[in-house]
Structure 1
Amino acid sequence: MSLRLLLVEDDRELRATLREALLVEGYQVLTAASLAEAIAMYGQTQLEEASTPAFDLILLDLGLPDGDGGDLLVKLRRKQSTPVIIISAREAEGQKIHLLDEGADDYLVKPFSIGELLARMRVALRHRGNQVRAAVTRYEQGDLVIDLANHRVSRKGDAVHLTPTEFNLLARLVRSAGQVVTHRQLLVDVWGQEYLEHTHYLRLYMGQLRAKLEDNPAEPQLLLTEPGVGYRLLDTES
């Protein structure tokens, strides 16, 4: 199961950029653009009781339109140990020290690279017992090249145009290349928990992917079916 993240950021463009990068890495990402929205998404009960955390990690901006992100950190630390990484343009040393003392796991000053953010996230998660490796974001097999980081797919040197859902489904298989990904995992990771019964979605979109990526879609050699279980993308070493 993918790790579940809450991204709290009011800048629409940055929020979209970070969300896309995190999805490529295989995380489940929920976003909030304000303090009130973040608190609502986390759940008041979660903030008041020592229950199982709703998220595996939180990326938290400070300058939100309805308050300071640091207030959410303080609320969380009363009952929860969810890793929190502050992402802020504020670079005053005193502020950093204060928030780290309040329980932040890390403090990253904007602008920052996606690579650095992902590395710091892996460290924070590792400290909580979650061993997270850098995701596989490039796949090459024969004349097919899939570059998840740059959102590009090419075959025989020509660009292959995929719909957002087709790309997300393919990306999920790339991240587990050579391994069977169950119907349940694909439905949850690509469409969401509420789509568990919609297995026809998988058949439809897998058919569309095969039509675009396979030499003979009726006899697929890359996007393989594991009857009654799920699907598998051929390992690059096969």
Structure 2
Amino acid sequence: MASDEKRILLVEDEKTIRDAVAAYLERENYIVRGVGDGQSALEEFEKHSFDLIILDLMLPKLSGERVCRAIRETSNVPIIMLTAKGEVEDRIIGLELGADDYLIKPFSPRELVARVRALLRRAHAESEPQLEVLDFGDLVIDISGHKVMVEGKEVDLTASEFKLLTTLARYPGRVYTRMELVEKVLGYDFEGYERTIDSHVKNLRAKLGDDPRNPRWLYTVHGVGYRFEAPQKPEKKSAE
């Protein structure tokens, strides 16, 4: 079975979809709390602790965008966004707000369960102690403490952003294709989700203060993917 009684907040205004998804998740032994509007979602989030949130983009009272933004002000809990919109730009709105993954309606409940399982597995793996610190001067990545420091100040990253940064930073100079990063960061290989990585990179650059026009760490390899570069440390002048 998939869980150790993990708690999931399911925010979906269509009751038939909410009930069907909840049934699939409960079959996997997840504890599901379902609500039908954005205001109720925030109230539940403030009252209870959840391991993952499934959040519809189009909601009454408060939109999914506003709910996601409010949650991200205080928490890095994994979020899967649901959207009925098919345009590429619409599909990545949630990612740019800090969601970790998205699904387009109509979707298979079995695929959603697989996404939930992958996100929770990744979040659990990242919480396990890993005695490793990547020190690049102004950028320090503390794997064991799950912390990122830029010029001495801690930067708050989502689970996906942290995984993306550590994947790239462990092998400076190596170029990763978008599909490689989808598999490593999201936990599965799914055609068409390359733009997911672009959104995570955009968010990551903004939080690190890394200008894509003059990058310090994250470089775009056009037509391929991304690479991380460790800045050259200034050479010490020898005493005359």
When normalised by structure 1's length, the TM-score is: 0.49
